[in-house]
Structure 1
Amino acid sequence: MIVSKQELRIDGAEFSTLEEFYDQVCLRIIPGAEWGRNLDAFNDILRGGFGTPAEGFVFCWDNHEISKQNLGYDETIRQLQKRLKRCHPSNIPSVENYLAEALRHEGPTVFDWLVGIIRCHCPGGSEATDGIELILR
Structure 2
Amino acid sequence: MTTTYVIDGAEVTDLESFWTVIGEAVNGPGGYFGRNLDALADCLGGGMGTPDDGDFVVEWRDHELSRRALGREETVRQLGLRARRAHPDNRAEILDQLARARAGAGPTVFDWIVAVFEEHAPGRLRLL
TM over 0.5: yes
Cα deviation, 1:67-86, whole Å, max 9, x if unaligned, reads 11110000000000000111
| Structure 2 counterpart of 1:43, one-letter code | A
TM score, norm. by length of structure 2? 0.91
1:23 aligns to 2:14 (yes or no): no
Separation (CA, whole Å) in 1 of partners of 2:85 and 2:108: 19
Among the aligned pairs, what percent are the same residue? 44
Is the partner of 1:59 in helix, strand or coil?
Answer: strand
Q: Which amino acid aligns with 2:83?
A: L
Q: Secondary structure at the match of 1:105?
A: coil
What is the distance in 2 between the residues matched to 1:15 and 1:36?
15
Poorly superposed stretches of 4+, deviation over 6 Å = none
**Partners of 1:135 and 1:64 in 2: CA distance:** 9
Matched, 1:53 2:51: yes
Count of residues paired in the alignment: 126
Change over 3 Å in CA distance of 1:33–1:12 after alignment to 2 = closer
List alignment gaps of at least 5 residues for structure 1. 124-131
Is this contact kept in 1: 2:23–2:34, CA < 8 A?
A: no
TM-score (normalised: structure 1): 0.85
Could you tell me which runs of 5 or more consecutive residues in structure 2 were left unpaired when the two chains were aligned.
Answer: none
Indicate the residue corresponding to 2:2 in structure 1: 5
Separation in 1 of the partners of 2:33 and 2:26? 12
Alignment of 1:97-116 (within 5 A): 97-116=96-115
